[in-house]
Amino acid sequence: MSGGPQSIQGLFGEALRETSDLAQKEFALFRTEMNHNIRIMFTGLAMVVVAAIFAIAAIILFTKSLVDWLATVVGSEALAALIVGGVMAALAIGLGLYGRHAMSSFSITPERTVRSIKRDAEVLSERSAE
């Protein structure tokens, strides 16, 4: 019967080693996935900032041109500026609300890591049940 405890100790030791290896691999997967998600987020953010700079310059030029043109139609530069300003404010509010909605659906959660951990937990529980 001395072979029984050694085999149980051996199995227990092997299970500990496998669990440790598994935890290290899961952590590495988590780190890799988080780095990838953060890199994508910062790249996207940088592109949005650059696009915003160009968009602001274009909007300033288009707005000035639109006010000048509308002033000739309505006969008043102040009224033209109010009309264009009101339309621009409505557009800004609409775009801001849409952007807030789009950003609320963004998730930085490492979904593959979570699925992998759940799968590993199921395998370990199946092994321990045997």
Q: Is 7 exposed, middle or buried (0-12, 13-18, 19+ CB in 10 A)?
A: exposed
**121 torsion bin: left (phi>0), alpha (psi -120 to 50), beta (else):** alpha
Flag whether pLDDT at 109 surpasses 80.
no
- % of the chain beyond a pLDDT of 70: 92
CB 115 within 8 A of CB 48: no
| CB proximity list for 108: less than 8 A, separation 6 or greater | 34, 37, 38, 41
Euclidean distance between CA atoms 22 and 16, whole angstroms: 10
Per-residue pLDDT tens for 66-86?
999 999 999 999 999 999 999
Q: How many CA atoms lie within 13 A of 60 on its CB side?
A: 6
Q: Which tokens belong to 46?
A: 């940088």
Q: Which tokens belong to 108?
A: 């930085």
Mean confidence (pLDDT) of the chain: 86
Q: What is the pTM of this model?
A: 0.43
Q: Where are the domains of the chain?
A: 3-129
